[in-house]
Structures are given as C-alpha cells and as structure tokens.
C-alpha cells in the first residue's frame, strides 16, 4: 500500500486550482502523467526575470518590467478593430495598458479606477506614449513581491497557458510533505544536498539561467533520488529471480566440440569469454538472466548456439525466440546447418503455418523429440509444453522489458539469455538491464569486411542511382532506406512508395518494397525475394534494420540520413558487408546540415565500433532519443539526465547493492524511507517483490 503521506501527490491533476476538465488533458500530455506528482517532475525549461521595477518615466523601451501604478481611466473602443485602453500613472508619468478583444466588465473588475495595481509585461512606445500590450500579470500591492521575481517557465502543449501551469505548480509544491531522509548522511553532506522537499522547491525556483543546469545541487539531488529508486527496484527484481529455484546444467562438450570443429574460423577471445560466463551461470543452481550484447556481426548467434548445446548435452531442451518469422527462418537455416550434422534435432514453431504441421511440432516438443526449437513469441503461448526446457534465448526483442522478463522466467525454470545487436552505453545498460548480468562482444569475427561510408548531398542523387545500377549489373544487391518523415508510419510508407515507383521506372521488376504499413506476410515475402535474388533492390523504411542477413547485399543507401540517430544509422549500415564483396554505405543528406547532424555523420564515417557510436549517441542526443530505448524497457526518467548524471548512476548502483545486503526486506528506518522513495517514483512493483520473495 502506498504510504498515506504520499496520497496528496497522487491525487488527480484536476484537484489543483485552475485545472478543470478542459486543461487537465492538456496538462497530462505536457507533464506525462495524470497525477500531481507528475507535475512536480515537470522541471522549468527557462526563466522570465520580472525583477526590474522602475518608475514609469525610467522604464526602458522594449523591456520586461514590473510597475506599480494607479488606475486613472478606462477608454472603451469605438469600433471592434480598436483596442480597449486603460490609462495608469505614478508620480513620474503615465502608461497605456492595451487590450485587444477584451471584456470590459473583466477589466473594470481587475483594474478598478483609483486603485493601486501591479502590472508586469513588456513596454513599447507608440505615438510617443509608453504602453504595455496585454500585461502578463496584474495583481494587487500585496502581490508585488511575488510578481517582482524570477519566474520559471515550462514546456507546454498547444492551448495550455503558461500562467495556468505556474499556478498549478505553486499549489502542487505546497502539497509536498516533509519525508524522512532516505540517503546516507555522509553522501548528503559530501554533495551539499538539502532535504528532498527543499531541493524540489529550489529546482522550481531558479534565480538565473545557471540554475536550470542539471549540474546544480538541487537538480543532482532529485536526479539521484530517481536513479536510486530505479536501481533499488531492479535489484529487488534480480534478487527475486535469484531466490527462486533453478537448476544446475552442465554438458559434456561433445556437441559443442563437433560444431566448433566445423566452423570456418575460430572463436574470438570475446566469444570465448562470453561463453565461459554463460556456462558458469548455467552450472549454478539459481536462475540465469544474462544479456549478451554485441555489435552487428560480432558472432552472438554462435555463442547462443553453443550455450544451447550445453543444455542439450545435459539431456534438456533449449529454445531461441525471435521477433519475426523471417528472422526465425534465418536462424533455422544457420543453426540447422551447424547442429544437425552433430545429431541435434532442430524444430521450428511460429504463429503461422499449417495446423497439422504445428500440431506435430507441439507433440514432438512435449515428447522431448526436439532438442532445440526456434520460433517467435508463439513458443511461450498457451498450449506449448516442453518436456525438459533448461535454456531460453531471446534475440532482438526490443520490447522485452523487466516485467516481460519476469513473465518469461515465471513460465519455466529455464536459464534465460537475452541478446541485443543494439550496443547500449554502459550507463543505459545499468538502467535498462540492471536486473541482469551482462556479457559484451566487443570484437568482430575474422572475415567481416569493413564498410566504406560516404556522405553525399541530395543534389547528387543521380550519381547514387547510377551506383545502384552498377551494383545490380555486377550481380550484387542494394538496400535503399527511405527517410524518417515523421512519427507517422503512413507518411513514412508514402515516402518509400514514391521512391519505389521512381526506381522501378529505371530498374523494372528487380525492385521490391517493404514498409511497416504492409501486411506482415507481404513484407516478409518481399524480403524473401530479396534474400533469394529474385529482386536486386529493396526499397524500405527502417523495418529492415534488424534481422535481415543477405550476404550478397553490398550497398546501403540511406536517404535523408540527417534525420536518423547515430545508433540507427549504424544498425542500418550493418545490413551490408556480410559477404565477400567490398561494401559501401551512402548517406544522402539535405544541405545545409545542422551541427548535430554533421557530428553524427562525421562519427559514422570515422568508426564502425558500435559501442563507441552508442556512447557518442548518448552524448549528442540524451538517453530518451536513442534508438530502441523506448522499445527496450528503458525506464523514462523524469528528472535524471544520464548524459549529465552518469556518475550518480554508478553511486546509486553501489548504494542500492550495499543497502540490500544489510536490509533485504527494507525493514530498518532507512528501509522504510526507501519504500516511500520507490512509491514516489512509481516503482511500486518492486515493493510487491519484497513481500513475494
């Protein structure tokens, strides 16, 4: 149960003054959630300095000022096109307050003649007279100090006034309770941090542009709160997994030896190290949950196959789950060619196919007649029963977050290996996969050819089309990736269809089209045609980014490359250079390039190291925009900025680890405070794990 002291923070936004039905939906969109606490995490994006408070005669032109004036008279407009004007003065001069489309009764009530009022806004001269058009604020003398201040401004959404958000936030801050300190005293002292409530109030009261920086003490304090909640939650998930009964799995090496002996080249040092880590985990009696990270072409599949064979050697079964049927078929071909000669029985199961074949496969899985089964998510649906499942590999499942990982391990006592070909910076690995052990393949197997990368302006499109023609004439194949036009798949598909039509005019039936708006069966049919050589040019959106292995493809054209993220460009480039032919990647861009886009394209030309590219992507764009982050279970941080707060993440990891060793049930005084922290940042699920073990 959420602690009662936090109830006011989890009240709906409509409980705040000025937030009725009309504004609540807009505010929820702007702040990313329906509760008061979501508004508190919506930090200032800028400031407006209203501290300049001169006399009227000293008020500079075109400047934001706060004036104390006496209201002298109202002049209503004679026609609709004229403004409503209120004349006001002090002992040094007068100013006209100008309002267009104003309601007279409202202005007469707000600015009563003969009364002192405080007005804040930008001054300007018109016809020799000083005036202020639509003052930002109008208040009484009692409100002078509040109005004559530095005002935080916030990111908005269309139709949501800045003043409404500011008023709601003031009310939200008043509701924040004093909470017991959940941090170590020495850390708080060393960092010079104030308590949580005081820090939050300071974050929302910047006095200068410098106070908006993520490096200020109040911002770092609140960021650390969030990072500690994240790490604590992930470690509780990990502890639950480890506490559950697993099984020790140890093979005799005969199948692995046979497969390795038939490989055209030896394993890299990184592959041997990762395999040793996985096998050591399998031999322990607790569940394994490990991430195998490797760049495109680093040899993850071989490592996963050898680990699966260790399970088969022990008399058990193993599965490999992938997100699409075409990728499943690709793995089936690769693994069957390597494993069947060694006597391993390989099966295939997806959601499609003939009912009779599927039923036969299910029977063989249940009887233990299949050693390794490759398929899609259908492998873990109702009706699939394994006789003796000991090892599960999940490949390229970007939507496979913490809760899905828990669900998978709930279904069996199997060890789980999750593979990703999207290199993730170490800091993001901690936040996305903090419940897992991690192995990294940081070198490529021998025989992987480097891909020549060039950036060209769109004006050289004809040359690029000619290069595609030369490749096709030489019997090679080419990808043509169309731009990310918008968040809309419809618009992206339209761009791909237009380019497909143009290339089809020139190259005829050798051109195919694949995009996310097609039926999955149609898209996979086109991809199969490209893989088999029926077509030589594949025009596509980013649907081809993961999982297509066509060794004859030697040219990748990426249109409007400036619109893609670094990691995404690197993933696309990794689709070529898999065979014996020299391969190229051409990055077409619209000139002139912005500074960020130029930096991305430069880095891509300089290196093909996916891990370096991932770190640069984090530095350039921040965690929230990196490819795959939203799809990979990445928690959406509200305050923490992983580019600015990497040092705090590592401290949070160590802090959470050390504390849970002392107080795994969070029963101490600090443990109780940390429970409040988990609820505050909506990591409630972790507190349930404490109780469930």
Tell whether 161 and 139 lie within a shared domain.
Answer: no
- Could you tell me if residue 123 is inside a domain? yes
Residue 678 covered by a domain: no
- How confident is the model over 184-205, as pLDDT tens digits? 999 999 999 999 999 999 999 9
Res 520: pLDDT = 74
Mean pLDDT on 147-163: 92
pLDDT of residue 688: 64
Q: Are residues 270 and 294 in the same domain?
A: yes
Does residue 434 or residue 350 have the better pLDDT? Answer: 350
- Is position 674 within any domain? no
Based on the fold, state whether residues 393 and 519 are members of the same structural domain: no
Q: Please report whether residue 690 resides in a domain.
A: no
Of 397, 412, 441, the last residue of a domain is 441
Q: Answer yes or no: is 116 within a domain.
A: yes
In angstroms, the CA 341 to CA 336 distance is 8
Look at residue 299 and tell me if it is in a domain.
yes
524 or 634: which carries more pLDDT confidence? 524
Cα(305)–Cα(211) distance, integer angstroms: 53
pLDDT of residue 628: 38
Rounded to 5 degrees, φ, ψ at 172 are -65, -40
Does 86 fall in a domain? yes
> Are 571 and 627 spatial neighbours (Cβ–Cβ below 8 Å)?
yes
Note the pLDDT of residue 478: 94
- pLDDT at residue 411 above 60? no
Q: How far apart are the first and last CA of the chain?
A: 17
Q: Are residues 15 and 97 in the same domain?
A: no
Residues 275 and 205 in one domain: no
114 shares its domain with 40: no
Number of domains in the chain: 4
Full domain range(s) for residue 179? 4-47+157-212
pLDDT of residue 623 exceeding 70 = no
Least reliable range by pLDDT among 108-117, 131-140, 521-530: 521-530
Do 404 and 300 share a structural domain? yes
* Residue 612 pLDDT: 83
275 & 387 share domain = yes
79 pLDDT higher than 60: yes
Residues 352, 474: one domain?
Answer: no
Q: What's the rounded mean pLDDT across residues 168-175?
A: 96
> Are 423 and 382 in the same domain?
yes
Among 390, 409, 441, which residue terminates a domain? 441
Mean pLDDT of the chain: 87
Query: What is the distance between the alpha carbons of residues 665 and 688, in angstroms, rounded to a whole number?
Result: 11
Instruction: Identify the pLDDT of residue 691.
Output: 47
- Looking at per-residue pLDDT, the higher value among 410 and 637 belongs to 637
| Same domain for 173 and 64 | no
Inside any domain, residue 335: yes
Residues 420, 309, single domain; the answer is yes
pLDDT digits (tens, 9 = 90+) for 540-598: 887 665 456 788 899 999 998 888 888 788 888 988 887 778 899 999 998 888 888 89
Span 246-286, pLDDT tens digits: 788 999 999 999 999 998 888 999 999 999 999 999 998 88
- Rounded to whole angstroms, how far apart are CA atoms 652 and 450? 39
CATH code (residue 437): 3.40.50.300
DSSP string, 504-573: HHHHGGGEEEE-TTS-HHHHHHHHHHHHHTS-SEEEESGGGSSS---TTEEEEEETTGGGS-HHHHHHHH
pLDDT above 90 (res 405) = no
Among the candidates 607, 642, 676, a domain finishes at 607
Residue in 488, 413, 441 with CA at minimum distance from that of residue 268? 441
* HEC-encoded secondary structure of 136-200: CEEECHHHHHHHCCEEEECCCCCCCCHHHHHHHHHHHHHHCCCCCCCCCHHHHHHHCCCCHHHHH
The larger pLDDT score, comparing residue 620 to residue 91, is at 91
CATH number of residue 141's parent domain: 2.40.50.140
């Amino acid at each position: 149960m959420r602690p009662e002291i936090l109830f006011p923070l989890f009240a709906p936004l409509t409980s705040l003054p000025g937030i009725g039905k009309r504004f609540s939906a807009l505010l929820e969109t702007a702040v990313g959630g329906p509760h008061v606490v979501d508004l508190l995490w919506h930090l200032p994006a800028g400031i407006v300095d209203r501290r300049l408070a001169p006399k009227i005669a000293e008020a500079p032109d075109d400047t934001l000022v706060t004036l104390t004036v006496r209201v002298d008279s109202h002049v209503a407009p004679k026609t609709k096109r004229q403004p409503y004007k209120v004349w006001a003065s002090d002992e040094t001069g007068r100013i006209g307050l100008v309002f267009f489309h104003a309601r007279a009764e409202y202005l007469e009530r707000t600015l009563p003649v003969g009364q002192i009022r405080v007005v804040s806004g930008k001054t300007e001269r018109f016809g020799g007279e000083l005036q202020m058009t639509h003052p930002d604020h109008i208040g009484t003398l009692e409100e002078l100090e509040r109005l004559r201040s530095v005002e935080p401004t916030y990111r908005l959404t269309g139709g949501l006034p800045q003043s409404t958000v500011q008023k709601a936030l003031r009310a939200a801050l008043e509701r924040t309770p004093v909470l017991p300190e959940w941090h170590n005293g020495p850390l708080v002292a060393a960092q010079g941090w104030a308590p949580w409530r005081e820090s939050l109030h300071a974050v929302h009261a910047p006095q200068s542009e410098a106070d908006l920086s993520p490096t200020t003490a109040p911002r770092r304090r609140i960021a650390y709160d969030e990072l500690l909640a994240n790490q604590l939650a992930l470690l509780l998930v990990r502890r639950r997994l480890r506490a559950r009964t697993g099984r020790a799995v140890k093979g005799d090496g005969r199948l692995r030896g046979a497969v390795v002996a038939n490989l055209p080249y030896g394993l890299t040092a990184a592959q041997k190290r990762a395999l040793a880590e996985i096998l050591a985990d399998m031999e322990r009696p607790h569940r394994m949950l490990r991430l195998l990270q490797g760049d495109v072409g680093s040899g993850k599949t071989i490592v996963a196959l050898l680990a699966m064979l260790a399970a088969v050697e022990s008399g058990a079964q193993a599965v490999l789950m992938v997100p699409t049927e075409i990728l499943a078929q690709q793995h089936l071909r690769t693994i069957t060619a390597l494993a069947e000669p060694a006597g391993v029985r390989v099966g295939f199961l997806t959601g499609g196919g003939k009912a009779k074949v599927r039923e036969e496969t299910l029977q063989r899985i249940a009887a233990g007649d299949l050693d390794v089964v490759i398929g899609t998510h259908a492998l873990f649906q109702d009706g699939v029963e394994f006789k003796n499942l000991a090892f599960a590999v999940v490949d390229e499942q970007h939507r496979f977050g913490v809760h899905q990982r828990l669900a998978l391990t709930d279904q069996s006592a199997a060890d789980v290996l999750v593979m990703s070909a999207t290199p993730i910076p170490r800091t993001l690995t901690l936040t996305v996969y903090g419940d897992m052990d991690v192995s990294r393949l940081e070198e490529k197997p021998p025989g992987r050819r480097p891909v020549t990368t060039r950036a060209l302006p769109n004006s050289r499109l004809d040359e690029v089309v000619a290069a595609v023609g030369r490749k096709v004439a030489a019997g090679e194949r080419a990808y043509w990736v169309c731009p990310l036009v918008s968040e809309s798949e419809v618009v992206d598909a339209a761009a791909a269809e237009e380019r497909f039509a143009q290339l089809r005019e020139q190259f005829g039936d050798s051109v195919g089209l694949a995009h996310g708006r097609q039926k999955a069966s149609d898209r996979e049919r086109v991809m199969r045609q490209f893989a088999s050589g029926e077509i030589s040019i594949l025009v596509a959106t980013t649907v081809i980014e993961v999982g297509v292995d066509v060794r004859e493809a030697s040219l990748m054209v990426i249109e409007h490359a400036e619109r893609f993220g670094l990691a995404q460009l690197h993933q696309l480039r990794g689709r070529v250079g898999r065979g014996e032919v020299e391969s190229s990647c051409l990055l077409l861009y619209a000139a002139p390039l912005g500074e960020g886009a130029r930096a991305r394209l430069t880095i891509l030309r300089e290196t093909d190291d996916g891990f370096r590219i991932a770190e640069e992507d984090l530095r350039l764009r921040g965690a929230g925009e990196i490819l795959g982050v939203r799809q990979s279970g990445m928690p959406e941080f509200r305050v923490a900025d992983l580019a600015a707060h990497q040092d705090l993440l590592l401290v949070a990891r160590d802090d959470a680890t050390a504390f849970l060793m002392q107080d795994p049930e969070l029963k101490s005084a600090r443990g109780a405070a940390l429970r409040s922290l988990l609820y505050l940042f909506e990591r409630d699920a972790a507190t349930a794990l404490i109780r469930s073990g």
